[in-house]
Amino acid sequence: MRLHELSAARIAGGVRSGEFSAQEVLKAFLSRIERDEPRVRAFLALFGEQALEAARAVDAKRAAGDPLGALAGVPVALKDNILVKGVETTCASKILRGHRSAYDAHVVERLRAADAVPLGKTNMDEFAMGSSTENSAFFKTANPWDTGRVPGGSSGGSAAAVAAGFAPLALGSDTGGSIRQPAAFCGVVGLKPTYGLVSRYGLVAFASSLDQIGPLSRTVEDAALALSVIAGHDARDTTSATAAPEAALKSGRGLSGLRVGLPKEYFVSGLDAEVEKSVREAIAALERLGARAVEISLPHTRYALSSYYIIAPSEASSNLARFDGVRYGLRAGEAASLEQLYERTRGQGFGPEVKRRIMLGTYALSSGYYDAYYAKAQRVRTLIARDFERVFAESVDLIAAPTTPTPPFRLGEKLDDPLSMYLSDVFTIPSNMAGNASLSIPCGLTAGGLPIGLQLIGGRFKEGLLLGAARALEAERPFPRLEAAA
């Protein structure tokens, strides 16, 4: 039995039954990482002895006859903006090199309580700003399907780790598509929960009104399992929803008669022909399963990208002001004044993309421009959210669309063209602006063997409906695993 090929649900069941131990599982994944990590470079750090101690604790718990949790013995990779007590958390930035977290993030607490085994920290775009994981201050991560191409971003390390068989589950964060876009590029399932369903306590903030933690996995069942563990109210996060997570996870119905909306604004000129073909084939499969496709319009979608790139950088410029050389991480030497300390620390510590977005955000929030830019962008955001509310109330149950406008692009292809890079998230950003539940599921391969993702979007707290439709589609059209394609 090749343990690294098993799903998270299968691993947890096997550990609970005693079919194999948590230590055996961990060693199987570590062996896989040792073999292939040099060509993929998904991890910034592995937990090593700490992970082995966690696995031993799970095995000891079982030996004592104590009940085990939902993720018993399952290795979980964590994006490097999620805090783990005593472990270096850098957000893939030089400015946080050497910073060790003083506490666990809420989601890490939940994973430990479910007897999961935290495995390591995955590479990412610096402070989650990017769409390719090329903005890491340390190294670039490669797409396991084609190491000359990007894995997407900013959760590219987490997506690559799952695709390469380094972990059955990973957590990422999604501010404008940073779970779903790399999931599509790496041929895995990526879920962005409803804003507030998963606590952001212990997530290093990029844009606080948009950020959301979610799982990446090889199967829809595993995504649902991970969400059931990490979802729930947390009083330490003032935006945490008070509704019971079980309500969000209930599907309540099958696919028969399910109304699936096809927004015309997502099937536009510039959409790659192979992407459109695969997405429409997946929609046809949903129809064969009993769903009914309905063309809809989300007219304010056209403004989502531009308004996002005012709101997100504005929030980032505020959130990143705390990195000043005094409280966290890097401190530049030989500063003659406090102002010079700030300037030199940030100049040395932040990368080009982070600096670009801080400057954009600071400008948009400055005197004389706040109303013209930030306030107007927030009004547009309200219109985008109302578009979704209207179609879900009047026309459809779910929305189906491409996750990305293109397949994975080549490493370096868009680094010198920020606007082209930003367009990678054009189909995912609207869900973040509205706070909706959404996921990406693999739906096909290009002629060159590169993954393509279908995005399913639901209303707030409709994760169960999304996951039910995705699971039915997964059963109807199984997606090839990377090893089978290699």
Strands (E), 290-343: 292-296
* Burial of 318 from C-beta contacts in 10 A (0-12 / 13-18 / 19+): middle
- What's the CA gap between 200 and 150, in Å, rounded? 27
440 strand-pairing partners: 190, 455
Torsion angle, alpha carbons of 208, 210, 214, 219, to 10: -170
Alpha helical stretches, state H, 176-321 = 180-186, 220-230, 245-249, 273-288, 304-319
- What's the CA gap between 12 and 455, in Å, rounded? 28
From the list 154, 217, 424, 431, the catalytic residue is 154
Phi (first) and psi of residue 458, to 5 degrees: -125, 175
Alpha helical stretches, state H, 231-325 = 245-249, 273-288, 304-319
Strands of the sheet containing 43-46, edge to edge, are: 43-46, 117-122, 75-79, 169-173, 213-217, 189-192, 437-445, 451-458, 398-402, 259-263, 292-296
Residue the block writes with tokens 């606007």: 419
- What's the CA gap between 430 and 112, in Å, rounded? 33
Phi (first) and psi of residue 400, to 5 degrees: -120, 135
Chain center to CA of 249? 18
From the list 21, 61, 79, 132, the catalytic residue is 79
Alpha helical stretches, state H, 366-453 = 376-394, 418-422, 429-434
Torsion angle, alpha carbons of 454, 459, 461, 462, to 10: -60
Cis peptide before 154 (omega within 30 of 0): yes
Pairing of strands 43-46, 117-122: antiparallel
Contact 393, 460 (CB under 8 A): no
The size of the chain, in residues, is 486
Spatial neighbors of 30 by CB under 8 A, at least 6 apart, are 46
From the list 21, 155, 173, 178, the catalytic residue is 178
Q: What would the 3-class secondary structure string for 111-171 be?
A: HHHCCCEEEEEECCCHHHCCCCCCCCCCCCCCECCECCECCCCCCHHHHHHHHCCCCCEEE
Q: Is 154 a catalytic residue?
A: yes
Give catalytic residue positions: 79, 154, 178
